Amino acid sequence: MNLTIADVRLTPILVADPPLLNTQGVHQPYTPRLIVEVVTADGVTGVGETYGDTKYLEPARPFAEKLKGRQVSDLNGLFVIADEVSVDDSRVSGQVDVGGLRGVQTADKLRLSVVSGFEVACLDALGKALGLPVHALLGGKVRDAVEYSAYLFYRWADHPEGVACEKDDWGAAVDPAGVVEQARLFKERYGFTSFKLKGGVFPPDEEIAAVRALADAFPGHPLRLDPNGAWSVETSLKVAKELGGVLEYLEDPALGVSAMAEVSAGTGVPLATNMCVTTFAEIKEAFSRDAVQVVLSDHHYWGGLRNTRQLAAICRTFGVGVSMHSNTHLGISLAAMTHVASTVPNLQHACDSHYPWQSEDVLTRRLTFEGGRVAVSDAPGLGVELDREKLQFLHRRWLDDDGALRERDDAAAMRVAEPGWVTPSVPRW
């Protein structure tokens, strides 16, 4: 068996995205992703997926060149290559990450997101070469299915008039009744039994009313609210007091470890984050100040599936919960998330996934949710197959774009509907 990497293919694509609202604005009609293929000398191909904006593509290209000739099993070496790849400073200095909403952007965070796409592709190729599923390469699954929660968004029925887009049948959700209807559809279509509402969109009282309406409509179901750090400490504590009885956790109510620690000290409601703990370096301060009770891992942030397991082990050691964050992603990443989640013993909460919002994919068969769960594949590798026609179609869309959609920009998308819109300063309320 020859595990030498003979070729690496990078295919940037644009995938359809609905008009989902968040505190920065609204999703653009198409969003960039990068599909990574790693081919061994024996002709085995592994696939991975990560962010596709230019700032990720730039370091991904030299990374791909350096990978050729190495072993697909040399996963630790990926971090060595990452250190050798330069990141254009202007892409990161002083920039808050728009796409992932994960605090201040740094060159290392960017590199780790690139590594994650290659690591998943290498694991897929290695698994296929050895005849083993990815979860076996990570030490083996401890569950046969992984539970996901419904990721509810305030949204418009359609993108603004005149904007080229794909349509969907979800309808608008801009008030409590709309949110409950969306949750009902999620339950009916996918069987989800826990619900997360993306907040920070409307004044807190309106979002409190939406969560109360969910609690009334789905008694006993776990509920979460995530305003992406849009609130002050005072507002966060008020919301925590009002919703204390119905929330499983409150996600990133305020921005940064200090504000989160203050909120945490003033409420019994557990706080979760995918914003103030997104790298290993941020763990010590956050945990020692008891700023968060649940870390939402994301293999795209943390540098892949093996780092996600390390994060879970650290959380277990410190008695902090762990679950998974999601951004816009396709089936390759859902498969990767499912494999790693299946190996984490201390996964106490249903994971997030945007996947139901993505009507397009690059796979021959979409992954499915049964009773809110994705079955863990025992097929070699990730257990997914790339559909080359679909990949080319979505790549063609990227090629044809004049550049406007190649960088995710929720504020720019909002300006189409509200010309005066600027990204709100924080705390917004």
Ligand X SMILES: O=C([O-])C(=O)C[C@H](O)[C@@H](O)C(=O)[O-]
Which residues of this protein are in contact with Mg ion, per CB under 5 A? 226, 251, 274
One-letter amino acid identity for 154?
Y
Question: Could you say which of 20, 112, 254, 414 contacts ligand X (CB under 6 A)?
Answer: 20
Terminal CA-CA length for the chain: 59
Residue closer to ligand X, measured from CB, 46 or 229: 229
Residue 106 CA to residue 289 CA, distance in Å, equals: 23
The CA–CA distances, whole Å, from 420 to 25, 186, 310 equal 12, 33, 44
Q: Of residues 299-328, which lie at the interface with ligand X (CB under 6 A)? A: 325-328
Residue closer to Mg ion, measured from CB, 11 or 297: 297
Cα angle vertex 20, ends 257, 36, to 5°? 80
Query: Closest CB to ligand X belongs to which residue?
Result: 22
Mask for 355-384, x = binds ligand X (CB under 6 A): ------------------------------
Task: Indicate which of Mg ion, ligand X, none lies near residue 22 (CB less than 5 to 8 Å, by partner kind).
Answer: ligand X
Q: Of residues 21-50, which lie at the interface with ligand X (CB under 6 A)? A: 22
Residue 226 binds ligand X, judged by CB under 6 A: yes
Cis (ω within 30 of 0) for the bond into 427? yes
**Least Cβ distance, residue 198 to ligand X (angstroms):** 5
**Least Cβ distance, residue 22 to ligand X (angstroms):** 4
**204-217 and 233-243 are packed helices; what angle lies between their axes, rounded to 10 degrees?**
20
Residue closer to Mg ion, measured from CB, 99 or 133: 99
- Tell me the residue ranges of DSSP E strands in 156-246: 195-198, 223-226
Residue closer to ligand X, measured from CB, 19 or 380: 19
Residue closer to ligand X, measured from CB, 67 or 101: 101
Question: Could you say which of 28, 50, 194, 228 contacts ligand X (CB under 6 A)?
Answer: 228
Residue 274 binds ligand X, judged by CB under 6 A: yes
Task: Indicate which of Mg ion, ligand X, none lies near residue 82 (CB less than 5 to 8 Å, by partner kind).
Answer: none
What token pair was written down for 103? 């605090």
Task: Indicate which of Mg ion, ligand X, none lies near residue 11 (CB less than 5 to 8 Å, by partner kind).
Answer: none
Q: Active-site residue 325, yes or no?
A: yes
Residue-by-residue DSSP string for 245-264 = TTEEEEE--BSSHHHHHHHH
Residue 297 binds ligand X, judged by CB under 6 A: no
One-letter amino acid identity for 98?
V
**Least Cβ distance, residue 136 to ligand X (angstroms):** 29
**Least Cβ distance, residue 7 to ligand X (angstroms):** 32
Task: Indicate which of Mg ion, ligand X, none lies near residue 110 (CB less than 5 to 8 Å, by partner kind).
Answer: none
Nearest to 333, CA basis, from 148, 90, 140, 94: 148
Residue 193 binds ligand X, judged by CB under 6 A: no
Nearest to 292, CA basis, from 333, 331, 235, 254: 254
HSE toward the beta carbon, residue 392, CA cutoff 13 A: 3
**Least Cβ distance, residue 76 to ligand X (angstroms):** 29
Residue 116 CA to residue 394 CA, distance in Å, equals: 21
**Least Cβ distance, residue 221 to ligand X (angstroms):** 19
Residue closer to ligand X, measured from CB, 235 or 326: 326
Helix (H) or strand (E) holding 54: helix 54-67
**Least Cβ distance, residue 226 to ligand X (angstroms):** 5
Ramachandran bin of 126, using left for φ above 0, alpha for ψ from -120 to 50, beta for the remaining angles: alpha
Q: What are phi and psi of 84, to 5 degrees?
A: -85, -15
Residue 203 CA to residue 211 CA, distance in Å, equals: 13
Active-site annotation holder among 135, 159, 198, 221: 198
Question: Could you say which of 15, 101, 295, 344 contacts ligand X (CB under 6 A)?
Answer: 101
3-state secondary structure labels for all residues of 396-416: HHHHHCCCCCCCCCHHHHHHH
Active-site annotation holder among 109, 325, 329, 349: 325
What token pair was written down for 338? 């499912």
Q: Active-site residue 198, yes or no?
A: yes
Residue 45 CA to residue 123 CA, distance in Å, equals: 10
**Least Cβ distance, residue 170 to Mg ion (angstroms):** 21
Instruction: Please give the size of the binding site for ligand X, defined by CB under 6 A.
Output: 12
Residue closer to ligand X, measured from CB, 198 or 349: 198
Residue closer to ligand X, measured from CB, 11 or 274: 274
Helix and strand totals (H; E) in the chain: 14, 14
In the complex, which residues of this chain contact ligand X (CB under 6 A)? 20, 22, 100-101, 198, 226, 228, 274, 325-328
Instruction: Give the residue numbers annotated as catalytic, written as ranges.
Output: 198, 325
